[in-house]
Amino acid sequence: MSSVALPEIKSMLTLPGDAVRQIQWRFADRFDLQMLVQSARGVARGTVARLVAAGERNTHEWTPAKDEMLNAFDRAGITAAFMEPEEGGFIIGPKNLALGLAAFELAWVDGGAATASLAGFLALSPIHERGTQEQVTRYKTLAAPPQPGEDRKPWRGAFALTEPIPYIGVDTGMLSGKIRIAEWKKGKEPVLQIDKRGRFITGIASENFVTAAVNSDDARIQGSCVVILEDGDEGTFDRGTATKKLVHQLSSTGDPVFNLKVPASRIVGGYTVKDGVIVPNFNHSEIIDAVFRRTRVPVGLMTAAKMLSAVEPVIRYQRQRFRGAEGAKPGSVRYEQGIQQREDALHRLVDVWAAGEAAASLGFAAARLFDALDPIEKQKTAILKERGIRGGRAEMKALKESEQRAIELLQLNEPQQKPGPEVSARRNELLADPLVHYVLADAEANVLCPATKLWNTGHGANIMREAVSLMGGYGITEDCPGFLANKWMDAQLEATYEGPEAVQRRQLTVTMTSEVFLTQFRMWTREMRHIASDHPGTGACTLASAMSLWGWTLNFLQRSIDPAGNKLYHGQRQGVTFPLADALSWLMASRCQILDVLELEARGAGDAVAGEGLAGTVQFLSDLCHTQAAQAAGEVSRICAELVFGYNRHPQWEEQEHRSCFLASELEELEETMPGITAMAVDVLAADGSHPQKAGPCAGCTGSGEFLRLQSKLTTCLTGSRLAKDRAAETVSKVMIPEALDYPAAGPA
Ligand SMILES: Cc1cc2nc3c(=O)[nH]c(=O)nc-3n(C[C@H](O)[C@H](O)[C@H](O)COP(=O)(O)OP(=O)(O)OC[C@H]3O[C@@H](n4cnc5c(N)ncnc54)[C@H](O)[C@@H]3O)c2cc1C
């Protein structure tokens, strides 16, 4: 028997530690963020884990212990992570990555705890994004934890958009909350009457202020806005009953009722008076768009943390499963490996791990992108303001030219672009344009944010079911190490609140077809091909082929109609647009995962801690990339094939034609082995009337040739992906884990 010498593969010895993560998720040079991670982890695996173990999730009531958890967040610096240094914070500059990291650490143990901290930020976000300077200073300072020597309780906040049925939920247009003028004395600030009922409002049990979306019910107020309500305002501030949640019980949720008088200065972002009418500077849609595009990213990261947090408890369970049984002596395979002797158990855990890596990479990439976007967005607003343009359609129109310039810049960076002084002068000119930078980052963020929320939480919920199943019966008990069943259910809420999956798909339907994004996407596809040539083990080749197939399919569907003559790619046609949005999200997650491993490989050696055993870690994480890329490619291939072929109708005559076309292609293949068969068959078919004049593709198959070529390329690019999975499984069966989980599983605190 001959054997082939395979290159030596390094194995990962221990679970990826902080040093590895800091490089992958790009905060190795951010000491402030590293400290935040450590302190959030301390609260999560200490205070929060003890609350869960003590059964605090068994009641949806707000208890003193849960309230104390908020104080623990304050002490640990988690609350202050949202604030500027002058408001009582400690992080300078944009904070999207910071908030994402804190949410990730808290959700590693409990999603409700993470939500309790995020709800306060969500309440402040409308003020932070669009508030007047006075509003920003007042509420962020009040919400900041007390500074040393100060004796005050920080204000808590809630964000009230969702209303009782039949008013707003997914559709945020039909507000029933009302704003009227209660009193407007000449020369004085108007007093407003606010009537708002909320449904499922987080943080409601302990909040001191609420940012609420309301619609005008008064001819003297234009449109809608967001107003700030305080618990000391005149009127009714009723927190309502607690929602009987099955999930996230460490945060409070309820259906409040507000009937209050507030000064007009509480309109978020201020207002002007035109012809005796109050015109809010921002309507509620403008504000919630600015808020959600950022706050949805940490939610996606929460589900990523759940998936990754499942790995260690499952490995421990699998390995220890048969210890103590008769015949299972230390050193024996049964004793040491337990269920990990079984391939399927390992492969499924590899899938959980790979999805968790991809979700984290996607979410952190989105968070970093918003950190980069924040200052550019401010610059854009200032430039447009100078030109007398503010918000809405006027802004979109003004940025059209910048979009063309951005596309031109991307094209100038193409490899086929011949270098020359004119090209580099033009490139430098475009590079110096802040609006070009803005539209590029904005187009990317408009896809990465909904993709993170959609894929991480939706696919993440499915993956958590897998993780639970790997624990057997233990998985669906309260005692399950790592609280996996809680996390499974919690993931479903993360897929729902701040806009369920339909909202993210709807957004992607629009943003993924922007010309700027599609130019970037083509560039990324080429980038993946390039990566594939020197890092084939990452699955970049598979991914590049899947990206090409997706791009081709989108283009095809945008130009195609169904048999009734209706456009296939259309906002109302969710059967087409939504699956394509899903497919894109798979691609984005896989791409980010690969890029993070390349970053680790490039920089890991320069870090004393990450450098140790780097080759093995990179090999393992690359194998996870390959496994994930293969899954993404499979999803994309399935979805695209269904959409390209599924809208062809086969009525009688078409069926006939299609049959002939199908037979013709079959015959072509047979011709190779049985020369002359085609001529014979054509005669037969002509005799029974089913063959057209000449063999060739029918209408249904026209254009599909290119699709099939791309799809078959994708299929062959799967080469090696199962070998990668086998290798990853082998590592999972050997990697060292700590003796015990570093937070309590069950029982009294
Ligand atoms: C625990 C919890 C905490 C929450 N916290 C807050 C909070 O702090 N503040 C706040 O304002 N809200 C909060 N919410 C509300 C949450 O954001 C909404 O539940 C969510 O946006 C969905 O609205 P809905 O429940 O009314 O669903 P609906 O609008 O009734 O939608 C139900 C389903 O119908 C389908 N659907 C609806 N519209 C469309 C469409 N256009 N296209 C395709 N499919 C569609 C989708 O499948 C969707 O999931 C919270 C909810 C929960 C459960």
Calculate mean pLDDT across residues 726-733. Answer: 97
Give the pLDDT score at 280: 97
Task: Pull the structure tokens for residue 375.
Answer: 């200052």
The length of the chain in residues reads 749
Give the pLDDT score at 694: 40
Q: Is the pLDDT of residue 671 over 70?
A: no
* Cβ within 8 Å of residue 557, ≥6 positions away: 568, 569, 576, 580, 643, 644
Q: Is the pLDDT of residue 691 over 90?
A: no
Q: Is the pLDDT of residue 651 over 90?
A: no
Task: Pull the structure tokens for residue 124.
Answer: 């402040």
* Ligand 1 contact, 482 CB (< 6 A): no
* Ligand 1 contact, 246 CB (< 6 A): no
Backbone φ/ψ region at 422: left (φ over 0), alpha (ψ -120 to 50), beta: alpha
DSSP state of 175: -
How far apart CA 374 and CA 439 sit, in angstroms, is 12
Side-chain half-sphere of 467: how many Cα atoms within 13 Å? 36
CA dihedral 312, 318, 323, 328 (to 10 degrees): -130
* Ligand 1 contact, 310 CB (< 6 A): no
* Ligand 1 contact, 497 CB (< 6 A): yes
Quote the percentage of the chain above a pLDDT of 70: 91
Q: How many CB atoms lie within 10 A of CB 331?
A: 7
Q: Which residues, listed in sequence order, are joined to residue 179 by a DSSP beta bridge?
A: 194, 216
How far apart CA 141 and CA 266 sit, in angstroms, is 16
695-708 confidence digits (pLDDT tens): 444 545 556 789 99
Type of residue at 472: G
Residue nearest to atom 42 of ligand 1 (CA): 502
Distance 162 CA to ligand 1 centre (A): 8
60-119 confidence digits (pLDDT tens): 999 999 999 999 999 999 999 999 999 999 999 999 999 999 999 999 999 999 999 999
Quote the percentage of the chain above a pLDDT of 90: 83
Distance 498 CA to ligand 1 centre (A): 7
Give the pLDDT score at 677: 58
Q: Is the pLDDT of residue 1 over 80?
A: no
Q: Is the pLDDT of residue 447 over 50?
A: yes
Average pLDDT, the chain: 92
* Ligand 1 contact, 521 CB (< 6 A): no
Which of 175, 253, 497 gets mutated to test ligand 1 (max ligand atoms within 8 A of its CB)? 497
Calculate mean pLDDT across residues 420-441. Answer: 95
* Of the candidates 590, 587, 594, the residue with the CA atom closest to the CA atom of residue 621: 594
Least confident interval from 262-266, 336-340, 588-592: 336-340
Residue by residue, DSSP assigns 411-475 as HHTSTTSPP-HHHHHHHHHHHT-HHHHHHHHHHHHHHHHHHIIIIIIIIHHHHHHHHHHHTGGGG
Identify whether 166 is preceded by a cis peptide bond (ω within 30 of 0): yes
* Ligand 1 contact, 569 CB (< 6 A): no
220-261 confidence digits (pLDDT tens): 999 999 999 999 999 999 999 999 999 999 999 999 999 999
* Of the candidates 83, 100, 103, 449, the residue with the CA atom closest to the CA atom of residue 290: 449
Give the pLDDT score at 612: 92
* Ligand 1 contact, 732 CB (< 6 A): no
Give the pLDDT score at 8: 73
